[in-house]
A and B are shown apart, each in its own frame.
Chain A
Amino acid sequence: MRAMTTARAAIPAGPWTVDDLDDFPEGDTRRYELIDGALLVSAEPSLQHQRVAAALFRVLQDAAPRELEVFWPIDVRLSPFRQIAPDITVVRRQDATGKRLAGVPLLVVEVQSPSTRAVDLTLKRRVLQEAGVPSYWLVDPDSLSITVLELQAGAYREVAQVSGPQVYEATLPFDVRIVPGELAGDAPSG
């Protein structure tokens, strides 16, 4: 019974490596990420966060070419001391044949919560840039807007900022048409 064991779960003492994260309790809504041996623990996301993340996931999955794969949160190891769990990750199918992802993702999407905004805009941006992730999208689920960062000469540059009914015709990591205003379905966009 997982629920019984996680209630008394314990984690190894830090500083941690990505291997230690394997021993962390599963089956709860906590999200553990590791930046250079320090832990980042995020709380449960809001319904609106999940609604928008799911809608964008479907749009990406429908448009992805055969050689690419779109994932819901997975552990992405960027170094022995860096592991993140993005809301959406797009990878080459050839990098996803084993138990864990090999290689660097082509796209990382973070749907922002009030609690993760500062981390996403500063620390995650730096970590993804250093790992060489070509595209990083930041989605604001409340204002329904997307900021698109792309790696140019080793640094992220903002190449697009779209919101509401505006159409974003992405070319990276593949051709896809995204309308941020449609990502909340019929639900109130808060």
Chain B
Amino acid sequence: MTAVTSTSYLSAPEGGWTADDLAAFPDDGLRYELVDGVLLVSAAPSEEHQIALGNLYLGLVAAVPPELRVLTAPYDVRFGPRRQLQPDLLVLPKDRTAADRSPVLVVEVLSPSTAATDRTLKRQVFEQAGIQCFWLVDPLVPSLTVLELRDGAYVELTTFMGDQAYTAVDPFAVRIVPARLLH
């Protein structure tokens, strides 16, 4: 590895980082996220990751109702003054003036470098933020795991594998076949 990253910005200010500090970080292809002041720095995703994310995006955009919008990373979602993540994909209200513009769905496409964080830490952040639907796509299986918020906690509803189709109702009607996400 010859490329280097200057780390002067990695010196936390007094009291630790806030989400505002992340705006001053370099645009260097790394993903900077913050959970309560702990900085998560991850590298650019793999080809499989991007194929699955791209195909899922196309599937969702084709079915999304007019009041909602589908976005992909990099897009900062702030969950508090010290919590900011970049979900791989999210669905949120289109109306920018809405009082609550929280995502109604977040999707993380697993990669070897993010799977543990996606399944534990990020799951808890999304759960505490009250995001109704959380999907985990594993492009190497391929599979889609669907979690929904019930009484404030995520319940893992089902994992759809390969050619098994998921006919979603929430956040909108759409049919997802994990194997097709890799085409």
**A interface residues, Cβ below 8 angstroms from B:** 7-16, 20, 24-25, 28, 30, 35-44, 81, 113-119, 121-123, 125-127, 130
A30 touches B3 (CB 8 A): no
Could you say which residues of chain B place their CB within 8 Å of the CB of A14? 5, 30, 41-43
A11 touches B5 (CB 8 A): yes
Could you say which residues of chain A place their CB within 8 Å of the CB of B124? 118, 121-122
Give chain B nearest CB distance to A97 CB in angstroms.
Answer: 30
Could you say which residues of chain A place their CB within 8 Å of the CB of B38? 40-43, 115-116, 118-119
**Besides A24-B7, A115-B37, 4 other CB < 8 A contacts?**
A35-B116, A41-B40, A44-B12, A116-B38
A122 touches B120 (CB 8 A): yes
Within 8 A of A (CB), among B12-69: 12, 16-17, 30, 35-43
> What CA separation (Å) do A113 and B38 show in the bound complex?
10
Instruction: Please tell me which one of the listed residues B4, B12, B114, B119 contacts residue A12 in the complex, with CB atoms under 8 A apart.
Output: B4
Count of B residues near A, CB < 8 Å? 35
Instruction: Please tell me which one of the listed residues B1, B82, B114, B119 contacts residue A38 in the complex, with CB atoms under 8 A apart.
Output: B114
A39 touches B1 (CB 8 A): no
Could you say which residues of chain A place their CB within 8 Å of the CB of B115? 36
Cβ-based interface call for B6 (8 A): yes
Could you say which residues of chain A place their CB within 8 Å of the CB of B37? 42-43, 113-116
Instruction: Please tell me which one of the listed residues A12, A116, A121 contacts residue B5 in the complex, with CB atoms under 8 A apart.
Output: A12
Could you say which residues of chain A place their CB within 8 Å of the CB of B12? 30, 41, 43-44
> What CA separation (Å) do A115 and B17 show in the bound complex?
10
Q: Which residue of B lies closest to A15 (CB)?
A: B43
Once A13-B1, A28-B11, A126-B119 are accepted as A-B contacts, the answer to whether A41 and B41 lie under 8 Å apart by CB is yes
Q: Which residue of B lies closest to A38 (CB)?
A: B42
Give chain A nearest CB distance to B135 CB in angstroms.
Answer: 18
A115 touches B36 (CB 8 A): yes
